[in-house]
């Protein structure tokens, strides 16, 4: 339960809408966000204008939203990190993140925030693929792409989710304080890994979503190969940030297996003939892979030590954020 709820006022909800040239839909999206929700005492809407060159910012203000504009397009990941910082600075208890392209229905916000309000989840994400009768119509290549990314997240984290790329999500105050992301291209998959590795609870809620944008093209997934490569890079970086030893261990095992194979072959040849020639090359190859394997293992151990230092720093950062958040809350209450 949030502090606002403890005071009988209801929680403070900040609805964040990232936009890039969404003048045809931003007004209706902002206007459709519910202002009265059970368990919520205050609703504010923040539009992050990520370098739009059309009338997005003006129409968002006219619809009743506060607008923060970037001078140029910085990427969805940067827009999301800025939104998190603003939500913490404002003292929000819950942050809703919903795209401004009209593919999501703001009327589903009460359904998504309910598990967070009742402390059943730290993050709730809308899921397009959890319930078969709600799966949207979309190009097959995008459906495969979403499934592939979900599989990679499952492979890296050990947790199964059906939709890890959806931009309609709800975050608790604790999640906002603990989350530290670095990708500029997107935040969707990285946030899953970051929160899973920190032991926070993520819940998928099935909703009906428009599978294809009514206007324009997605700026993030406009090129499927580009999206796949950049998302994979962000996910691997997030994985290595928390589980480097696991990655380097298996690389080391692979190298050492190859090394023992070549050295074993050379040893058997020596036992049979009493000479290393003409396969002395196997010794050099095996020795090289052996050196690479042991070196990789040492790198993994050192990287694991650096992760422990990083986690200590994140704990300090979390307490600093929380202290500032509580101070802001106390000042607002006076």
Which of 41-45, 113-117, 326-330 shows the lowest per-residue confidence on average (mean pLDDT)?
Answer: 326-330
Tokens of 48: 């992050």
Q: Which pLDDT belongs to residue 39? A: 87
Q: How far is CA 88 from the centre of its chain?
A: 18
| Average pLDDT of span 56-85 | 92
What is the rounded average pLDDT for all residues in the chain? 86
Contact assessment for residue 220 and residue 234, using Cβ atoms and an 8 Å cutoff:
no
Q: Which pLDDT belongs to residue 235? A: 79
Which of 84-93, 199-208, 308-317 shows the lowest per-residue confidence on average (mean pLDDT)?
Answer: 308-317
- Residue pLDDT, tens place only, 302-316: 998 988 888 888 888
Cα separation, 21 vs 25, in Å, equals: 9
Q: Which positions ≥6 away from 228 have C-beta within 8 Å?
A: 145, 148, 149
Contact assessment for residue 307 and residue 244, using Cβ atoms and an 8 Å cutoff:
yes
Q: Which pLDDT belongs to residue 333? A: 59
- Spatial CA neighbour of 15 closest among 91, 104, 103, 83: 83
| Average pLDDT of span 280-297 | 95
- Residue pLDDT, tens place only, 247-280: 899 999 999 999 999 999 999 999 999 888 898 9
Cα separation, 240 vs 197, in Å, equals: 11
Residue 171 has pLDDT above 60, yes or no: yes
Q: Which residue has the higher pLDDT, 22 or 218?
A: 22
- Residue pLDDT, tens place only, 210-248: 755 555 555 555 566 776 777 777 778 778 888 889 889
Q: What is the DSSP letter of 28?
A: H
Contact assessment for residue 144 and residue 216, using Cβ atoms and an 8 Å cutoff:
no
State the angle between helix axes of 280-333 and 76-90 in degrees (0 to 180), rounded to the nearest 10: 30
Q: Locate tokens 């929380």: which residue?
A: 322
Helices (H), 274-333: 280-333
């Amino acid at each position: 339960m949030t502090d606002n709820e403890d005071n009988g006022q209801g929680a403070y909800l900040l609805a964040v809408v990232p936009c890039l040239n969404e003048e045809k839909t931003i007004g209706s999206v902002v206007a459709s966000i519910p202002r009265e929700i059970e368990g919520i005492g205050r609703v504010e809407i923040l539009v992050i204008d990520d370098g739009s060159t059309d009338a997005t910012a003006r129409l968002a203000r006219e619809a009743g939203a506060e607008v923060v504009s970037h001078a140029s397009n910085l990427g969805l990941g940067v827009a999301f990190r800025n939104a998190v910082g603003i939500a913490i600075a404002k003292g929000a208890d819950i942050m809703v993140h919903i795209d401004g392209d009209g593919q999501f229905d703001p009327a589903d916000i009460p359904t998504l925030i309910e598990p967070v309000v009742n402390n059943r989840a730290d993050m709730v994400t809308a899921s397009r693929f959890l319930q078969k009768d709600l799966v949207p119509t979309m190009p097959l290549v995008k459906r495969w792409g979403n499934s592939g990314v979900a599989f990679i997240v499952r492979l890296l984290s050990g947790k199964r989710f059906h939709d890890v790329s959806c931009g309609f999500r709800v975050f608790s105050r604790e999640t906002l304080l603990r989350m530290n992301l670095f990708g500029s291209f997107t935040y969707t998959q990285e946030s899953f890994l970051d929160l899973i590795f920190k032991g926070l609870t993520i819940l998928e809620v099935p909703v009906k979503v428009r599978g294809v944008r009514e206007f324009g093209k997605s700026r993030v997934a406009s090129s499927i190969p580009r999206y796949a490569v950049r998302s994979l890079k962000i996910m691997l970086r997030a994985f290595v940030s928390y589980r480097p030893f696991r990655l380097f261990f298996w690389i080391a095992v692979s190298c050492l297996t190859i090394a023992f194979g070549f050295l074993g072959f050379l040893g058997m040849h020596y036992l049979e003939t009493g000479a290393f020639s003409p396969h002395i090359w196997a010794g050099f190859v095996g020795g090289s892979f052996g050196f690479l394997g042991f070196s990789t293992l040492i790198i993994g151990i050192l990287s694991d030590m650096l992760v422990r230092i990083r986690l200590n720093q994140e704990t300090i950062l979390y307490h600093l954020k929380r202290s500032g958040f509580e101070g802001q809350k106390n000042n607002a209450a006076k």
